Amino acid sequence: MALHPYLFFNGNCRDAFTQYQAIFGGDLTLIRSADMPADEQMPATDSEAIMHAALTFGDNLLMASDDPTSTGSRTVQGIMVNYSVADPDEAKRAFGALAEGGEVRLPIAATSWSPMFGMCVDRFGTPWMVSVDSPAEG
């Protein structure tokens, strides 16, 4: 069984996922509304709206689409996407890239539960937690 975050954007899914690919690497698939059969296109949206985005990197899969029902900017509430790695330098790099143009809610630093942990909301409104896996206790 696997859980995969599925994010919704207000017309900027392509920009967000292009940025996420630059940060995390991996393979990006973008399917526009115009790429779908006419009866499966998003109603009343721009034909360039993203119907489905999928970014696969390592064992991770992050998915999204533009949400034709949303208007104005919005920040996802009640959930955060967690990116957890083994290397503190990678955590700092990813956190800095995600936080750029966004809002740092908790600067990345050592905590009692993690060698490195931070929280931010990226410029697309997606809230992130970035952490370093704690070494296995022996």
Domain ranges of the chain: 6-66, 81-132
Confidence at residue 48, expressed as pLDDT on a 0 to 100 scale: 82
For residue 44, give the DSSP letter: T
CATH code of domain 6-66: 3.10.180.10
CATH code of domain 81-132: 3.10.180.10
* Section 60-69 average pLDDT: 88
- Matching CATH topology for 6-66 and 81-132? yes
In whole angstroms, what is the distance from residue 54 CA to residue 64 CA? 7
Average pLDDT across the chain, whole number: 88
The answer on pLDDT for 137 being more than 60 is no
Tell me the whole-structure pTM to 2 decimals.
0.87
Strands of 6-9's sheet in order across: 6-9, 60-66, 50-57, 27-32
In whole angstroms, what is the distance from residue 138 CA to residue 136 CA? 6
Which alpha helices (H) appear in the chain, and where do they start and end? 13-24, 88-99
β-partners of residue 119 are: 106, 129
The answer on pLDDT for 101 being more than 70 is yes
In whole angstroms, what is the distance from residue 61 CA to residue 13 CA? 15
